[in-house]
Amino acid sequence: MWLRIKIAFRNAFRNRRRSLLNIFMIASAVAAIVVFEGFTHNMISGLRETTVQTQTGHLQLALRSFWEKKSNKPKQNLIKSYQRVVTELLKDKRIQYAAGKLEFFGLLSKGDESMSVRIITLDPQKEVSRNKHFRFREGKALHKNRPFQVAVGNGLARKLGLKANSNVSILTHTYDGVVNAMDFEVSGIFQTDIAEFDDSTLLIPLKTAQELLDTTAVEQIVVGLKSSWDTTMVKDSVRAVLAGIDPDIQVKTWYQIATLYKQVSMFNRVQNTMVQFILMALVLLSIMNTVGMSILERTGEIGTIRALGEKRAAVVFQFLMEGLFLGLGGVLLGILGAICIAKGFNAMNIPIIFPGASAPIFIKIEVLYSAILKASLLGLGITILAAVIPAHRASKMNIVEALRYNI
Amino acid sequence: MSLKSVPNTLSLVVEAHRVSRTYSIGSHCHQALNQVSLEIRKGDFCDIAGPSGSGKTTLLNILGCLDRPTEGDVLIEGVSTKKFSVNELAKFRSENLGFIFQTFNLIPTLSALENVEYPLLLLSRTYRSRRELAEEALKIVGLENFKRNRPGQLSGGQRQRVAIARALVKKPLLILADEPTANLDRKNSIEILDLMSRLHEENGVTFLFSSHDPLVLKRATKISYLSDGRQEPIPSEERMKDVA
Ligand SMILES: Nc1ncnc2c1ncn2[C@@H]1O[C@H](COP(=O)(O)OP(=O)(O)O)[C@@H](O)[C@H]1O
Ligand SMILES: [Mg+2]
């Protein structure tokens, strides 16, 4: 067995330049896969954190009619028993916070200028961690002791020329259709990196919003967990709690709601899969060509070993081993290369703006074990597959014909 | 046609029984062998002779189980090979036959010693016994000092000696040699043939040659003469050829 491995190894590196070229080819593909996966993983998980922490929480509870968006009477979508639900939910130790949420549209004015804005509530007392995740470019976050302050998204602030401590007013109508307005002070300007959000959103303390809309109820209850891993399990127990209070309230996880996250991660997955497919197809063709060529060159030798009594399967095995050596070399070099590329990029701090992002972030590549495993298996699998077809052909050669190639 | 060997049915190694071999080239057929019969017995030093293109290699390949006849049968120790599968023939070759080629056919990536070891690898011998037997075989052909050399670092005569050691190492029933001297000069040819004659006489190794070299003809204990695929009596001038 050892001699066979030795033979395959020597044969794999018989034509040094060709073998190195192949190894380099496999290595490039493997490195590209690992780097791209690491890069998009970082981007996606950043987007996930931002989405969950600033917008959706881990779970959202609302009435069926709210989710189905059927009713054009928003008042019917309000959860009246929300205080009780929150109290019950907070008994679960896995839940970090549970807070009511309202989302509505209003007219934000500064002096003569007005703009229609999306207004989202935040409970500064309960949603401490959510509050913390808004990065403030200037000014401060909302505070439970300053009810008449609002926080404004970066893009929105720019459009209206708002600064921290600017005075603004909000005009909207209550759930009963009565027009209502209030004056506020801008507490600060935040940035979530999601452009669509930062360009149109304003945060307001929940209690104040309820006053403005003349209600004591909420549309949704946002639940934040201590660990994202618990999402599905907590969802089930929350459902059980709700069944005892108001069976009309339904739970959704952040993943069901986060449309942007879903689109971006889906897009990335499709893109990565396509890139990987193309890379692997290239590797397949190139290795197939190399193994095919080396088999052609060694036709006489194949004839000789078959004459000596080598079985067909052994001939296939030998060429598969050779492919395996190329694959192993390529995969190892590729992983090494990926680590170097990742280190290099991470050290260089290259800024880049993603579509849908409001500010540049620095390229950061995390070398994931899962990506290494995937790329290695793909790389090895493809090289072996690429060797199978020509190796099989080699084993089927007519011995006498093959022997005539010895000159 | 036997000169020295005593006929003995018990010691029959392989036998070609009225074999024919036709090659189809495009639409027309070429008959390379026509109803040829030949028996190889233990202890033979047999040569298939005849001019170039007469079918010597074709017959040798058929007797060596590398090729199958289109008609007729090849018997191994009296058993027909017709029903043998490709793998069964391979197994038979690996266990019982040694091959020596005109072009030496050593594996270029292996050292002399590893080349000689190779046939034992097919017999699943242990590393130790492979090494021992291979070193012994290299010693017999006088190349014990060249065991680390790759074929590229050896002369033609030395390469053919390694090939002989490779054929010899498993102590085969029969060694088949296709024009073993065709790529060697006269001095090396004589040395190689002397070595094979010695193995024949001292160790009782059975040889089957396909060669028109007078040096081989002179040593043969049995000659089968082919002309255009047919067996013919050996023309007297062939035997008279000056080999001195
Ligand atoms: N694979 C083949 N296809 C077609 N014709 C062949 C093939 N092999 C040998 N022949 C023909 O068969 C005849 C005998 O060939 P061969 O046995 O090699 O002769 P020798 O070894 O005596 O020189 C020749 O005419 C040769 O051209
Ligand atoms: Mg010939």
Inform me whether the pLDDT recorded for A71 exceeds 90: no
Mean pLDDT of A90-99: 90
Mean pLDDT of A112-136: 85
Residues A196 and A282 in one domain: no
Residues A129 and A147 in one domain: yes
Residues A75 and A28 in one domain: no
Residues A343 and A296 in one domain: yes
- Assess B109–A contact: CB distance below 8 Å, yes or no: yes
Q: Give the number of beta-carbon pairs within 8 Å between A and B.
A: 71
Q: Give me the half-sphere count of Cα atoms (radius 13 Å) on the Cβ side of residue B49.
A: 25
pTM above 0.80, yes or no: no
Owning domain of residue A336: 2-50+261-404
Alpha carbon distance B200, B10 (integer Å): 19
Residues A325 and A342 in one domain: yes
pLDDT band at A406 (very low <50, low <70, confident <90, very high): confident
Neighbours of ion ligand 2 (CB under 5 A): B 57
Residues A88 and A175 in one domain: yes
pLDDT, residue B241, reads 61
With a 6 A CB cut-off, is B32 part of the ligand 1 pocket? yes
Please check whether residue A172 is in contact with residue A106, taking contact to mean a CB–CB distance below 8 angstroms. Answer: yes
Residues A219 and A266 in one domain: no
How many structural domains is chain A composed of?
Answer: 2
- How far is the alpha carbon of A384 from chain B, nearest alpha carbon, in Å? 22
The C-alpha angle A305, A308, A311, rounded to 5 degrees, equals: 70
pLDDT, residue B27, reads 86
Q: In what order do the strands lie in the sheet with A220-225?
A: A95-101, A220-225, A59-63, A249-253
3-state SS assignment for residue A67:
helix
Instruction: Say how far residue A308 (Cα) sits from the centre of its chain.
Output: 57
Considering A254, A289, A307, which residue would you say is the last residue of a domain? A254
Inform me whether the pLDDT recorded for A18 exceeds 70: yes
| Record: contact B122-A312, CB cut-off 8 A | no
Closest CA to B45 of B238, B174, B229, B192: B174
End-to-end alpha-carbon separation of chain A, Å?
29
Mutation site, A13, A302, A399, interface B, largest B CB count within 10 A: A399
Phi, psi of A343 (to 5 degrees): -60, -45
Among A45-49, A310-314, A370-374, the minimum mean pLDDT is found in: A45-49
pLDDT, residue A254, reads 86
Residues A320 and A369 in one domain: yes
pLDDT band at B4 (very low <50, low <70, confident <90, very high): very low
Residues A71 and A212 in one domain: yes
Beta partners for B208? B46, B176
Among A9-13, B103-107, B157-161, the minimum mean pLDDT is found in: A9-13
Taking the CB of residue A34, how many other CB atoms lie within 10 A of it?
29
To the nearest 10°, report the CA torsion of A43, A44, A49, A54: 90
| Record: contact A399-B91, CB cut-off 8 A | no
Residue B44 CA to ligand 2 centre (angstroms): 20
Considering A199, A228, A254, which residue would you say is the last residue of a domain? A254
Mean pLDDT of B135-163: 94
pLDDT band at B189 (very low <50, low <70, confident <90, very high): very high
Taking the CB of residue B166, how many other CB atoms lie within 10 A of it?
29
Across A75-112, where does the E strand assignment appear? 95-101, 103-110
Residues A305 and A230 in one domain: no
Write the single-letter amino acid at A191.
Answer: Q
With a 6 A CB cut-off, is B160 part of the ligand 1 pocket? no
Q: Which CATH class is domain B42-69+84-243?
A: alpha beta
As a whole number, the mean pLDDT across chain A is 88
- Give pLDDT tens digits for A326-369: 999 999 999 999 999 999 988 888 887 766 666 677 778 888 99
Angle between helices B156-168 and B112-121 (to 10 degrees): 20
pLDDT band at B179 (very low <50, low <70, confident <90, very high): very high
Radius of gyration of chain A from Cα atoms?
31
Inform me whether the pLDDT recorded for B205 exceeds 80: yes
Q: Which tops the pLDDT comparison, B12 or A30? A: A30
Considering A198, A224, A254, which residue would you say is the last residue of a domain? A254
Instruction: Label the pairing between strands B230-232 and B222-227.
Output: antiparallel
pLDDT band at A261 (very low <50, low <70, confident <90, very high): confident
What ligand 1 atom has the least distance to the C-alpha of B50? Answer: 22
The fraction of chain A above a pLDDT of 70, given in percent, is 98
With a 6 A CB cut-off, is B53 part of the ligand 1 pocket? yes
pLDDT, residue A48, reads 82
pLDDT, residue B3, reads 44
Closest CA to B41 of B91, B70, B1, B82: B1
